[in-house]
Structure 1
Amino acid sequence: MPPKARAAGKGRAPAKRKLAEEFPPGEVLTDTGKKAWKLGAPIGQGGFGLIYLADENSAKPVDADARYVIKVEPSENGPLFSELKFYMRAAKPDQIQSWMKFHKMKNLGVPRYWGSGLHEKGGKRYRFMVIDRLGTDLQKKFEECGKQFPRKLVLQLGIRLLNILEYIHDHEYVHADIKASNLMLSYSDPNQVYLVDYGLAYRYSPDGALKEYKEDPKRCHDGTIEFTSIDAHKGASPSRRSDLEILSYCMVQWLCSQLPWEDKLQDPLYVRDSKISCQEDISEFMTKCFSTQDKPDEIQKFMEEVKSLGYQDTPPYDKLRSILQAGLKTIKSKDDGKLDFAVVKGAGSPRAQKTPKKRKVENEDSETDGSPVKKKTVTNKLELNGVKKGRPKKVKNTVGRKQAYPKSRLVDVETQTSPGVAQKSRGRPKKTSN
């Protein structure tokens, strides 16, 4: 259960989680399937763990072009344990491959899970997970482009994210924290994008039983404040419509540089009420964000379709994709498979830069372009009602399920039970996930 929000002005005790010690290159970790993995240089750092280049164990050292990374954190911490639940149930290579084959897709932007386990050293136990290595995140690209993406690129990203969300939704999960810093390009193919950081992933339909709508005041505003859904603002568990609402806010921001409520992110009630007003009159919301000649009608249609969904409804993924594809036709373009991050003419103009200075959006874990990174000092930020500006808080996942599609045998995560802390405290600095 997430911690109770505190009144503004009251301090919060620091999280009692241990930081992972850095392992030397060449350290060998053995997963639950008895497969040995060798660590290379650390290339990323999260709030409570490190990310290392990795490869299958051999006499050779792990080189800079390693295909895998390993996330490591002390076993008593909860964040990686929570994320691991999703990966083991929905991201095995054969599952992803079967889905792609069935839907005649060449790529699906979900990182593949290759193994996990516990490692002991110096009398301490560490949890680790092996997944695909990825490249840079889209938040960096967004800033490089003057905080504005080309319309074609936004529509392409929207279509790809619909494919990803349809996959994870069919496997009974929702992501709940979609944003540019949680989207990463493939390490080997800059035209492929992956949705990462499943620490907030929620099992909305365990064994096919849909969760009912229920507001919990202790869970209000979970997620990343500027993008999180109205349901989350009210304390309800995330749903499929929540993911799509979050995606719509992302697409609007990518197109016009900033959302209307980004000037008061320190006030979660203001942000919530602004989103409610937005959904009550989507046309007026679009007028606030775009000039008449630049208004993307397809985004308004997308938002109106999502608005019509009930909490337990299955989204019309094909219809939503067709809306975005129609938008491509409007600008006389098509999804040619290439992601062009060209700077938009006028990007970085006064309108695009009017957002007051605030923290840089980053993920729980970060990976640079293959180079070792230095550890950064974590500083505390002010919070209001327990919510730090733009910082997501992780929720505990439910445990144990059979996947929806395709059918395969579920492998136990580990022989141990969940640690006492199965969530990340709101406001901890996040770095780009792998």
Structure 2
Amino acid sequence: MPPKSKADGAKKSRAPAKRKLAEEFPPGEVLMDNAKKKWKLGSAAGQGGFGLLYLGRIQKSCRKLSSNALFCFIYQFDNGPLFSELKFYMRAAKPDLIGAWMNSRKMDYLGVPKYWGSGFHEKGGKRDRFMVMDRFGVDLQKKFEGNGKKFPRKLVLQLGLRLLDILEYIHDHEYVHADIKASNLLLSYTNPNQVCFKVPLCVGVYCIIAPSRRGDLEIMGYCMIQWLCGRLPWEDKLQDPLYVRDSKLRCRDNIDEFLKSCFPSENIPEEMKKFMQEVKALGYTDKPNYAKLRGILQQGLKTIGATDDKKLDFGVSTNGTGPPSVKTPKRKKVEEKGQSADETKGAPAKKRRAPQKKKEVNGAKKTASPGKRPAKKEAQASSEPAVKKSRGRPKKNS
């Protein structure tokens, strides 16, 4: 296990960003986990800063890998941060444990990737670790950008309900996520109506903020608001952490003004205001009332005449807060000019339809682009106080 204290030690563990990845293995390589189960590798599916990702399946025969194969993540033996991630999966993501949780709450799905096995693999005198987990699909950040940086209100509320389920499970097992963002939320490979949280690589106990359950929920609130309005007030200076921190503190202190800045030309979703107020009222070590937070989001669905039908529709909609949106292709072109989705939404319809020649419109928009698009980053940190290192588990209440 990595050390529980000594911030300098944590820095040393994270320092080798350029370290060599685990050895590459050909399709068909067989790995044996600690429970003596054999896993057969398929083709490489990608890589991160610390390891390689392969398709894989348990070896039962010589049949080819099925289309719904699992992921097998292989990384260097001495990688401390990833070893901490592995410990989370081993402790809290076993299929039986997740299944028991779901049954006790009469749930049909929980978006926590299942842990299927792990072990060591030696070849050519080199030893690597590996872990087998569920296969992921596309992440929500790609969906968000492909949808003109805006999600329908119904979808946002449904995603919020799924996230509350996941966070309650993680928190109940004495962990916090501490890196909630769209790129860490992935659709299931086998069911596009299901979304799961990827435990962030190299975060775990190596957090740059003081982690808490309240902090997770605060970041979740920022994400939902961003998905609704398209952009958060501090996104113009994401490279300045002090500015971002101070901006979030001001927003938390004055939720009404914060939401007005996010929804200047449309009605403010009442459920977002109530959600942020409920989170603000939490103490640092308080256990959140997840049922109450779910009720707030469910009331938001009722407000727009919708229900949680378990189907994730990423199509553009009015979000229940203003006039009909323009079609997705036009929205994308307008945003390339540096305009927000709100400006597009609030513009008079006649002005949007006025140009008669499509080529001229496209040309004008293309030449008008100033090339100052906001950085494609997300709000990641809450307004919790900064620390060099903190244990990634919340304190339990008596």
**Match for 1:351 among 307, 318, 340?**
340
Q: Counterpart of 1:46?
A: 48
Aligned with 1:261: secondary structure? helix
| 8 A Cα contact 1:261 1:274, kept in partner | yes
Q: CA separation of 1:126/1:343 partners in 2, compared to 1, >3 Å: closer, same or farther?
A: same
- Are residue 339 (structure 1) and residue 312 (structure 2) matched? yes
Task: Give the TM-score of the pair, scaled to structure 2.
Answer: 0.78
Separation in structure 1 between the aligned mates of residue 300 and residue 340 of structure 2, nearest angstrom:
24
Q: CA separation of 1:322/1:257 partners in 2, compared to 1, >3 Å: closer, same or farther?
A: same
Separation in structure 2 between the aligned mates of residue 196 and residue 359 of structure 1, nearest angstrom:
19
Q: CA separation of 1:176/1:360 partners in 2, compared to 1, >3 Å: closer, same or farther?
A: closer
Q: Counterpart of 1:92?
A: 94
Cα deviation, residue 191, structure 1: 0.6
Aligned with 2:266: secondary structure? helix
Q: Counterpart of 1:285?
A: 258
**Farther off after superposition, 345-354 or 326-335:** 345-354
Structure 1 residues 11-410: aligned runs within 5 Å: 15=17, 17-60=19-62, 62-63=64-65, 65-199=67-201, 202=204, 222=208, 232=209, 236=210, 238-291=211-264, 293-344=266-317, 345-346=325-326, 347-348=331-332, 349=334, 350-352=339-341, 356-359=373-376
Letter paired with 1:133: R
CA RMSD of the aligned region, Å?
3.0
Larger Rg over CA atoms: 2
| 8 A Cα contact 1:82 1:199, kept in partner | no
Separation in structure 2 between the aligned mates of residue 359 and residue 145 of structure 1, nearest angstrom:
14
| 8 A Cα contact 1:200 1:395, kept in partner | no
Aligned with 2:258: secondary structure? helix
| 8 A Cα contact 1:117 1:128, kept in partner | yes
Separation in structure 1 between the aligned mates of residue 391 and residue 278 of structure 2, nearest angstrom:
28
Letter paired with 2:218: E
| 8 A Cα contact 2:214 2:288, kept in partner | yes
Letter paired with 1:358: A
Cα deviation, residue 293, structure 1: 3.1
Cα deviation, residue 44, structure 1: 1.6
| 8 A Cα contact 1:175 1:200, kept in partner | no
Q: CA separation of 1:286/1:161 partners in 2, compared to 1, >3 Å: closer, same or farther?
A: same
* Offset from partner CA, 1:325-382 (integer Å, 9 cap, x none): 1111111111111100002424444213997343567x9xxxxxxxxxxxxxxxxxxx
Q: Counterpart of 2:351?
A: none
| 8 A Cα contact 1:40 1:61, kept in partner | no
Letter paired with 1:175: H
| 8 A Cα contact 1:145 1:342, kept in partner | yes
Separation in structure 2 between the aligned mates of residue 75 and residue 130 of structure 1, nearest angstrom:
15
**Farther off after superposition, 284-293 or 334-343:** 284-293
Q: Counterpart of 1:214?
A: none
What is the percentage of aligned positions where both structures have the same residue?
60
Separation in structure 2 between the aligned mates of residue 194 and residue 355 of structure 1, nearest angstrom:
33
| 8 A Cα contact 1:116 1:129, kept in partner | yes
Aligned with 1:294: secondary structure? coil
* Offset from partner CA, 1:71-115 (integer Å, 9 cap, x none): 001111223212101101100001100000000000000010010
Q: CA separation of 1:5/1:36 partners in 2, compared to 1, >3 Å: closer, same or farther?
A: closer
| 8 A Cα contact 2:112 2:197, kept in partner | yes
* Offset from partner CA, 1:293-314 (integer Å, 9 cap, x none): 3311100110010001001100
Separation in structure 1 between the aligned mates of residue 185 and residue 10 of structure 2, nearest angstrom:
29
Cα deviation, residue 127, structure 1: 0.6
Separation in structure 1 between the aligned mates of residue 316 and residue 7 of structure 2, nearest angstrom:
40
Separation in structure 1 between the aligned mates of residue 272 and residue 375 of structure 2, nearest angstrom:
27
**Farther off after superposition, 173-182 or 191-200:** 191-200
Q: Please state which structure has a larger fraction of its residues in helix.
A: 2
Q: CA separation of 1:398/1:339 partners in 2, compared to 1, >3 Å: closer, same or farther?
A: closer
Cα deviation, residue 48, structure 1: 1.7
| 8 A Cα contact 1:174 1:240, kept in partner | yes
Letter paired with 1:258: R
Cα deviation, residue 199, structure 1: 3.4
Cα deviation, residue 194, structure 1: 0.4
Letter paired with 1:19: L
Number of residues of Structure 1 aligned to a counterpart in Structure 2: 338
Separation in structure 1 between the aligned mates of residue 340 and residue 54 of structure 2, nearest angstrom:
40
| 8 A Cα contact 2:42 2:54, kept in partner | yes
Q: Counterpart of 1:424?
A: none
| 8 A Cα contact 2:54 2:71, kept in partner | yes
Separation in structure 2 between the aligned mates of residue 169 and residue 13 of structure 1, nearest angstrom:
28
